[in-house]
Amino acid sequence: MRLQRLAETDRPAVSFTLDGRPMAALEGDSLLTAILTEDTYLRTNEFGDGRRAGFCLMGACQDCWVSVEGSGRVRACSTPITEGMRVSRGTVQP
Ligand code: FES
């Protein structure tokens, strides 16, 4: 699944990295939105081989954990993207 922007495309750009790869987002994006507009999945499932893209999108289901350097594990759906954020689908130590 990849998200497609249909509106608000004139917001300022924000740069971040995902597993070391440079990515672009827009100011005000959640981390989940930022990742899924640039890639086809959010993370892999620790209990199986399926790729995940979040579920509830409101901080309740725990299906969107990613790691942010300096912050540890965060819910991608309720974490705003910030300039220079270094995101990993694996474990990142704070
Ligand atoms: S998608 Fe459910 S907690 Fe983030």
Q: Burial, 68: exposed, middle or buried (Cβ in 10 Å; 0-12, 13-18, 19+)?
A: buried
What spacing in Å lies between the alpha carbon of 43 and ligand 1's midpoint? 12
In this structure, the number of other CB atoms found within 10 A of the CB of residue 16 comes to 22
Query: What integer pLDDT is reported at residue 92 of this predicted model?
Result: 45
| DSSP single-letter state for residue 12 | P
Is residue 8 situated within a structural domain? no
Query: What integer pLDDT is reported at residue 48 of this predicted model?
Result: 77
Confidence of residue 91 (pLDDT cuts 50, 70, 90): low
Is residue 7 situated within a structural domain? no
Q: Using a 6 Å cutoff on CB, does residue 14 contact ligand 1? A: no
Per-residue pLDDT tens digits for 5-64: 999 999 999 999 999 999 999 999 999 999 999 999 999 887 777 888 999 999 999 899
State the total domains in the chain.
1
Is residue 4 situated within a structural domain? no
Is residue 6 situated within a structural domain? no
Nearest to 88 by CA among 22, 18, 37: 18
Q: Provide the residue range defining the domain that includes 80.
A: 13-88
